[in-house]
Amino acid sequence: MHYVYILKSTKFLSKYYIGYTINLEKRLKAHNARKSTYSKLYAPWDIEVYITFESRAKAIKFERYLKRVLVMPFFGNTLWGDRGYDYHTEYYSFIRY
């Protein structure tokens, strides 16, 4: 199985981490052992939500979608420019078979 997950810091309540793994339990332990560059700053972590995929490609595509939708809007137009991009349209085309 392939997992896309969102972690929430238990110490810094406004900090989240979005990731992909094939072993959720092992990956959470690595985050909490401070073996990840970004996440070690805000450990310990709890799993807020995870989604299971059979396809690696779909899991990675969904992780990238979440990062764009949940993280990129905070940068606004100053960093990335106004591209008029509709993230939701991409997601819905992603989940269609």
pLDDT at 72: 61
The residue among 59 and 87 whose pLDDT is bigger is 59
Classify 2-95 by CATH class.
Answer: alpha beta
Per DSSP, what are the bridge partners of residue 51?
Answer: 4
Specify burial of residue 59 (Cβ count, 10 A radius: 0-12, 13-18, 19+). buried
18 token code pair = 């979005």
Average pLDDT of the chain is 80
Tens digit of pLDDT for each residue in 35-70? 888 888 999 999 999 999 999 999 999 999 988 887
pLDDT at 92: 42
Domain layout of the chain by residue ranges? 2-95
Is the whole model's pTM more than 0.75, yes or no? no
Q: Give the C-alpha separation, 12 to 10, whole Å.
A: 6
Q: Give the C-alpha separation, 56 to 75, whole Å.
A: 28
pLDDT at 84: 44
